[in-house]
Chains A and B, each alone.
Chain A
Amino acid sequence: MPSSPETVRIGIDRVLCSGHGVCAQTLPRAVALDEWGYPIVVEEYVDPYDASLAVKLCPARALYLR
Chain B
Amino acid sequence: MTDIVELLQTAGLTGRGGAAFSSAIKVKAAREHKARLIVNACDGEIGAAKDAWVVENHLPELLEGVELVTGGRRNAKTLFAAHRDSKTARRFAEAGLRVLETPERYVSSEETSLISLAHGGQARPMAKRAPFVFGGRDSQGKRIRPTVVLNAETLLRVSQINRYGADWFRSFGTTAEPGPRLVAVGGHVERRGVYEAEAGLRLTSVLAMAGGLAADIEYVGVGGMGGVLLTAEEVRSATWDGPGMKRFGGSMGPGLITVWNPRDCPVEVATRMIAFGAGESAGQCGPCMFGLPALSRDWVAFSENSNRETHWHLIRRLGQFSGGRGACGHPEGVVRFAQSALRVLGAELAKHADNSCTKAGGRSYAKLA
A interface residues with partner B (beta carbon < 8 Å):
11, 13-19, 34, 36-38, 40-41, 64, 66
In the complex with contacts A11-B129, A36-B290, A40-B325, A17-B285 CB distance below 8 A: yes
Pairwise interchain contact A14-B327, C-beta atoms closer than 8 A: yes
Number of A-B pairs whose CB atoms are under 8 Å? 47
Pairwise interchain contact B320-A40, C-beta atoms closer than 8 A: yes
Pairwise interchain contact A36-B286, C-beta atoms closer than 8 A: yes
Interface residues on B, range: 10 to 19
Tell me whether B323 is interfacial, beta carbon within 8 Å. yes
B interface residues with partner A (beta carbon < 8 Å):
125-127, 129, 139, 284-287, 290-291, 320, 323-327
Pairwise interchain contact B284-A15, C-beta atoms closer than 8 A: yes
Pairwise interchain contact B129-A41, C-beta atoms closer than 8 A: no
In the complex with contacts A11-B129, A14-B325, A40-B320, A34-B285 CB distance below 8 A: no
Most chain B beta carbons < 10 A, residue from A11, A18, A34? A34
Residue of B nearest to A16 (CB): B139
**Cβ distance B88 to chain A, nearest Cβ, rounded Å:** 28
**Cβ distance A1 to chain B, nearest Cβ, rounded Å:** 16
Residues of A within 8 A of B291 (CB): 34, 36
Residues of B within 8 A of A37 (CB): 286
Residues of A within 8 A of B286 (CB): 14, 17-19, 34, 36-38
Residues of A within 8 A of B326 (CB): 14
Contact of A16 among B127, B290, B324 (CB under 8 A): B127
Grouping DSSP codes into helix (H, G, I), strand (E, B) and loop, the B interface class, with mixed when no group exceeds half, is loop
Residue of B nearest to A66 (CB): B129
Contact of A15 among B290, B323, B324, B327 (CB under 8 A): B327
- Extra contacts, 6 of them, besides A19-B286, A34-B320 (Cβ < 8 A), are A14-B326, A14-B327, A15-B127, A36-B286, A40-B323, A40-B325
Complex CA–CA separation, A14 to B139 (angstroms): 9
**Cβ distance B167 to chain A, nearest Cβ, rounded Å:** 40
Complex CA–CA separation, A66 to B33 (angstroms): 21
Identify 15 residue pairs between A and B in the complex whose beta-carbon atoms are under 8 Å apart, listed by A's number: A13-B327, A14-B284, A14-B324, A15-B126, A15-B139, A15-B285, A15-B327, A17-B285, A36-B286, A36-B290, A36-B291, A38-B285, A38-B287, A40-B320, A66-B129
**Cβ distance A42 to chain B, nearest Cβ, rounded Å:** 9
Residues of A within 8 A of B125 (CB): 15
Complex CA–CA separation, A64 to B141 (angstroms): 14
Complex CA–CA separation, A40 to B287 (angstroms): 9
Complex CA–CA separation, A36 to B291 (angstroms): 9
**Cβ distance A51 to chain B, nearest Cβ, rounded Å:** 15
Pairwise interchain contact B126-A14, C-beta atoms closer than 8 A: no
Residue of B nearest to A17 (CB): B286
A-B pairs, 10 with minimum CB distance: A14-B285, A38-B286, A15-B139, A13-B127, A15-B127, A14-B327, A36-B290, A16-B139, A15-B284, A15-B327
Complex CA–CA separation, A64 to B286 (angstroms): 17
Residue of B nearest to A37 (CB): B286
Complex CA–CA separation, A24 to B287 (angstroms): 15
Complex CA–CA separation, A17 to B324 (angstroms): 13
**Cβ distance A27 to chain B, nearest Cβ, rounded Å:** 15
In the complex with contacts A19-B286, A40-B325, A14-B320 CB distance below 8 A: no
Residues of B within 8 A of A34 (CB): 286-287, 291, 320
Residues of A within 8 A of B126 (CB): 15
**Cβ distance B101 to chain A, nearest Cβ, rounded Å:** 23
Residue of B nearest to A42 (CB): B323
